[in-house]
């Protein structure tokens, strides 16, 4: 039945190979089980607004990854796993802060509603096959600049979580923590070194092994508290929406950014994994539209469960490298995310963090953030630096995102400059009308709106 359902023989693979590939893919991206709840619950750093409960975010993370990955496998028959995306979850937290600042005392509910709306829009666009218009709207240089900027931001947050980067004087310059003998710094550097070595040596699940190693050091130092192995999440955030506050003009930019981030993350991953798997024929990925539909449905399911945007994971390349070629790989990965739910105390222990002299720290998962950031930085070589009309806006985006500590603000710098430069250089027809629309939205946000 599996051979027929997933066309294993025509893909020159076997049930055993696909299942093992799915397990390896899960081990490679399992860090999201720890990191996403930590970020959405505010345990990644100082949180000035109410965020989701850790257990609720954990439940939503695993359920969304399970549904989206299984759907990708069954609907598109592609070996691509899905889960709440890094970068999108960071942006979710900034959205929470933004909507909380405009008289919404449940900012995370409004943010989930924004994610839901963006997911529904993405689903509609996918069903209507408008994806080519959206994909072609932004140049490859800008797309890659966004990936690089988010990678730099994620790495910066990792250093901040580790207590390496500190801000002893609020409002002043950030500084390097010179007291490297503190336990959290020792744990961070030890975990980072091990993870980097494993990554360089192409050990499968390098990020996960690094997290487990750092957890062991945390236990030795007495900073990580053992709370047990087995147990289900004790809370949930199902259908926690706030439609009362979401229909405000100032939130349009948030919806647009979520939509574009999901679209470009997904397409980049589909193309990258498809090329590695050798399944792209005549410059076309089979079942590409079905893959986009499954991603959009995953985002809607994620919002209903209580998590940020769901997207396809580039870590799927690891399973493909092992031999995964069909949707059975993605289905297997999805089921392992479901199994992870039964180990909630263990996950909570790893993702909790603690207070130190440098403030709240979580050096256990911080190395994973730095490594993921390093993986995303490679896109910088894909930017067209020879064309200044592409290179300058791209540079402003990749620099603006980490320095503003806000993805939306970083994007705004580049998206506003991009059409202006093109117009001034007589290259107005090189870009889509959609780019001008996004630029206008950003301009309205910063000139007429308070957020």
Mean pLDDT within 389-393: 93
Check residue 168 and give its pLDDT: 67
Average pLDDT estimate for 353-359? 73
Q: In Å, what is the CA distance from 231 to each residue of 69, 106, 341, 391?
A: 23, 28, 8, 50
Q: Which pLDDT belongs to residue 200?
A: 92
Q: Which two tokens stand for residue 187?
A: 């744990």
More confident residue, 211 or 285: 211
d(CA 106, CA 303): 15
Structure tokens at 42: 């505010």
Query: Which of 423, 335, 363 has the alpha carbon at shortest distance from 63?
Result: 335
Strands (E), 226-326: 310-312
Closest residue by Cα to residue 348 from 224, 237, 162, 201: 224
- Global pTM reads 0.72
pLDDT score of 41:
83
Cα 324 to Cα 326: distance, rounded to the nearest angstrom: 6
Structure tokens at 37: 């709840």
Q: pLDDT of 181-219, one tens digit each? A: 889 999 999 999 999 999 899 887 788 788 889 989 999
Question: Residues 6 or more apart from 293 whose CB is under 8 A from it?
Answer: 75, 123, 126, 127
Q: Which helix (H) or strand (E) holds 166?
A: strand 165-166
Indicate the pLDDT class of residue 4, thresholds 50, 70 and 90. Answer: confident
Number of H helices and number of E strands within the chain?
Answer: 20, 6
Is-contact 56 235, C-beta < 8 A? yes
Confidence (pLDDT) at 276: 65
26 contacts 65 by C-beta, under 8 angstroms: no
Could you give the percent of the chain with pLDDT greater than 70?
Answer: 88
pLDDT at residue 126, rounded to an integer: 84
Judge whether residue 54 has pLDDT over 80.
Answer: yes
More reliable by pLDDT, 63 or 39: 63
DSSP at 247? -
């Amino acid at each position: 039945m599996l051979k027929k359902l997933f066309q294993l023989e025509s893909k020159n693979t076997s049930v055993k190979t696909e299942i093992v590939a799915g397990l390896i893919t899960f081990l490679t991206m399992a860090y999201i089980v720890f990191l996403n709840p930590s970020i959405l619950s505010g345990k990644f750093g100082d949180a000035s607004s109410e965020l989701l409960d850790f257990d609720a975010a954990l439940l939503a993370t695993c359920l969304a990854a399970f549904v989206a990955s299984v759907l990708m496998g069954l609907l598109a028959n592609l070996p691509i796993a899905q889960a709440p995306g890094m970068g999108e979850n960071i942006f979710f937290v900034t959205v929470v802060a933004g909507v909380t600042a405009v008289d919404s005392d449940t900012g995370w509910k409004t943010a989930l509603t924004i994610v839901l709306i963006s997911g529904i829009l993405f689903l509609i666009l996918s069903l209507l096959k408008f994806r080519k218009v959206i994909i072609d709207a932004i140049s490859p240089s800008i797309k890659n600049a966004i990936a690089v900027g988010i990678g730099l931001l994620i790495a910066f947050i990792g250093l901040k979580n580790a207590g390496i980067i500190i801000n002893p004087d609020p409002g002043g310059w950030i500084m390097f923590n010179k007291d490297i003998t503190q336990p959290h710094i020792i744990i961070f550097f030890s975990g980072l070194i091990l993870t980097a070595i494993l990554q360089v040596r192409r050990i499968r699940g390098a990020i996960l092994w690094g997290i487990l190693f750092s957890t062991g050091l945390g236990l030795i130092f007495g900073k990580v508290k053992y709370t047990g192995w087995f147990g289900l999440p004790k809370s949930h955030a199902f259908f926690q929406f706030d439609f009362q506050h979401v229909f405000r003009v100032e939130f349009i930019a948030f919806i647009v950014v979520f939509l574009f981030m999901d679209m470009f993350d997904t397409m980049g991953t589909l193309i990258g994994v498809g090329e590695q798997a050798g399944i792209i024929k005549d410059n076309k990925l089979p079942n590409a539209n079905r893959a986009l539909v499954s991603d959009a449905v995953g985002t809607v399911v994620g919002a209903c469960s209580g998590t940020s945007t769901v997207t396809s994971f580039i870590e799927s390349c690891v399973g493909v490298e092992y031999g995964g070629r069909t949707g059975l790989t993605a289905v297997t990965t999805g089921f392992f995310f479901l199994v992870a739910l039964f180990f909630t105390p263990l996950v909570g222990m790893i993702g909790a963090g603690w207070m130190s002299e440098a403030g709240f720290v979580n050096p256990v998962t911080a190395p994973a953030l730095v490594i993921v950031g390093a993986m995303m930085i490679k896109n910088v070589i894909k930017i067209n630096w020879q064309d200044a009309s592409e290179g300058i806006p791209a540079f402003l985006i990749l620099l603006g995102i980490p320095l503003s500590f806000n993805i939306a603000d970083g994007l705004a710098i580049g998206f506003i400059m991009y059409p202006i430069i093109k117009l001034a250089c007589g290259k107005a027809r090189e870009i889509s009308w959609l780019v001008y629309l996004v630029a206008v939205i950003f301009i309205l946000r910063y000139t007429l709106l308070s957020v």
